[in-house]
Structures are given as structure tokens and as C-alpha cells.
Amino acid sequence: MLEIKNLHAKSEDKDILRGINLQVNVGEVHAIMGPNGSGKSTLAHVLAGREDYEVTQGEILYNGQNLLEMNIEQRAAAGLFLAYQYPIEIPGVSNKYFLKAAMNAVRKQHGQPLIDTTSFLKLLKENMQLLGMDKSMMERSVNEGFSGGEKKRNEILQMAMLQPKLAVLDETDSGLDIDALRIVADGVNTLRGPDRAIIVVTHYQRLLDYIVPDQVHVLAEGRIVRSGDRTLALELEDKGYGFLETHSAAASAAAV
């Protein structure tokens, strides 16, 4: 489903991603871990097509298509979804309106008819119940005045409504208490299925107790320095990112 080959990306004056290789097959859940500043969010944004980053080398194939040639909204319509680490506020635009506009925008791109209000509201109600969200959230402006946890839940609600093929969750767990974490994880697990893939970016292994990944990758200084199964996450938690430094140095040396 997703194949990243030797991906290099930089912001205006800084190389951030320095040769990422990653393959995610349909039906899989991958976790990406790594210390702050290692490039996890940058990778997520490069996948989404954020224009602040320039891809200088490498390629990304998404269902056989060259992802880098698609613009942001085309990627979205092709089923790529990013749950933001820092969701954006849009004052004056109700959450409900935004959700419907997003769903219809995707439909429009596919030349499909717009969703009718009844089906939309039914779907919305179901998903909100699943995520334990209060009805009043829908009338409020997108993310405005939301608590950290509410914002994250709202991202998952959008994901649940849009039913993406590839969902990238960027630190959706941070700022959530344990109950909220469980609810969000349930939401993600509901999406899990043979025709989708999920990339979970996280700082802590805690989330992976609830969303059990098929593979875990550790990102450090813009490279994947280790890949493994779940136990890698546990090992990280045990030893901290510090233990990576030696590995990271070795990996850098190996990569040169």
C-alpha cells in the first residue's frame, strides 16, 4: 500500500528526513517511535503533502501511484488521512459543517453524489457515541477552545467519518488520560481491517497496549534506525531512547 524509498526531505534550511525506507502493506498497523525532533511529524506531513517541506530525494508509492505528484487534496481523496499532532482551529466554522464539507469534498473529487443530511447525521451520531463525544461538540467551531483531549478525539472522529485507506496518527495519544486513550484506541481499532493500513506515530509505548502494531520502527535523526515487532517498543520503554544513541551512531555509520 505504501512504499517509501530513500526519502530525503528538508525545510527551508534544514535537512530533516535523511533516507527513510518503509513499506506498509494493506491490513497492517505500523508504529513509528522516536525521540522529540527526530522527524516523525515531518514524515507524516510529507506524506500528507505539506508544502513547507521539500523532498530532495527518494520516492513514495501509494497504491502504485507516485504520491509526490499528487496535491494535498488529491491525496486526501485517495484515502490518505493525517490526524494532526496539533489540530488547527477554524473559528466560526462549526464542527458539523466542516465534517460534512470534508466528506462532500472527497465525494466531489470522485464525482460521487453529495451525502444527504439524514445519512450524514446518522453516521455522525454513531461515531460520536463510539468516541464518547458530547453532541454539543458538533455546534462548536472546529477545534476552537477544545481541550487537548477533545482535539485529539475530534481528529479520530474525522477519521471515522472519512474512512481513510491509510491513516497516519501523529501522537494522537499525547494529552489523553487513560480512559480517553482507550476510547481513541477503540476508534482506531474499529477502522483496522484488511483493506486499510494505519501508521501510529507515538512517543510512548502505552498506546501500543491498545493498538497492537504489526511492526515498530524507531526514528532518530531522520532515519529509521531500528525496526522490529512489538517487543521493540517495550524495550524502548524499558531502556529509554538513550540506548538508541549507540545504535543510531552505528546505523549512521552503516548508512554512509
CB 47 within 8 A of CB 30: no
146 near other proteins, judged by CB under 8 A: no
Minimum CB distance to other proteins, residue 101 (Å):
6
Q: Decide if residue 38 touches Mg ion (CB under 5 A).
A: no
Q: x/- binding map, residues 47-86, to ligand ADP, per CB under 6 A?
A: -----x----------------------------------
Residue 52 or 238 with smaller CB distance to other proteins: 52
In this chain, which of 36, 69, 88, 242 binds other proteins, going by CB under 8 A?
88
Q: Which is closer to ligand ADP, CB of 53 or CB of 81?
A: 53
111 binds other proteins (CB under 8 A): no
- From the CA atom positions of the chain, what is the Rg in Å? 18
Contact between 41 and Mg ion per CB under 5 A: yes
Which is nearer to other proteins, 105 or 234 (by Cβ)? 105
- The gap from C-alpha 217 to its chain's centroid, in whole angstroms, comes to 14
Do residues 146 and 140 touch, judged by C-beta distance below 8 A? Answer: yes
Based on the shown chain and the rule CB under 6 A, indicate whether residue 117 belongs to the binding site for ligand ADP.
no
Q: Verify binding: residue 163, other proteins, rule CB under 8 A.
A: no
- If binding is defined by CB under 6 A, does position 36 make contact with ligand ADP? yes
Alpha helices by DSSP H, listed for 110-211, are 117-130, 148-162, 178-191
| Binding residue (CB under 6 A) for ligand ADP from 20, 33, 42, 155 | 42
- The DSSP line for 224-256 is EEEEESHHHHHHHHHH-GGGHHHHHHHHHHHH-
Residues 6+ apart with CB under 8 A from 71: 49
120 binds, among Mg ion, other proteins, ligand ADP, none (CB under 5 to 8 A by kind): none
**How far apart are the C-alpha atoms of 167 and 83, rounded to whole Å?**
7
Q: How far is CA 46 from CA 6, 51, 67, 69, 167, in A?
A: 13, 8, 10, 12, 14
Per-residue interface string for the shown chain with Mg ion, residues 73-92, x marking contact by CB under 5 A: ------------x-------
DSSP label at 202?
A: -
Binding-site string for other proteins from residue 33 to residue 52, where x marks contact by CB under 8 A and - marks none: ---------------xxxxx
3 state SS for 164-189: CCEEEEECCCCCCCHHHHHHHHHHHH
Q: What sign for the dihedral angle of Cα 142, 147, 150, 152?
A: positive
Q: Which residues of this chain interact with Mg ion, rule CB under 5 A?
A: 40-41, 85
Q: Which residues of this chain interact with other proteins, rule CB under 8 A?
A: 48-52, 71-73, 75-77, 81-82, 84, 87-93, 97-98, 101-103, 105-106, 109, 141, 158, 162
Q: Which residues of this chain interact with ligand ADP, rule CB under 6 A?
A: 11, 14, 16, 34, 36-42, 52
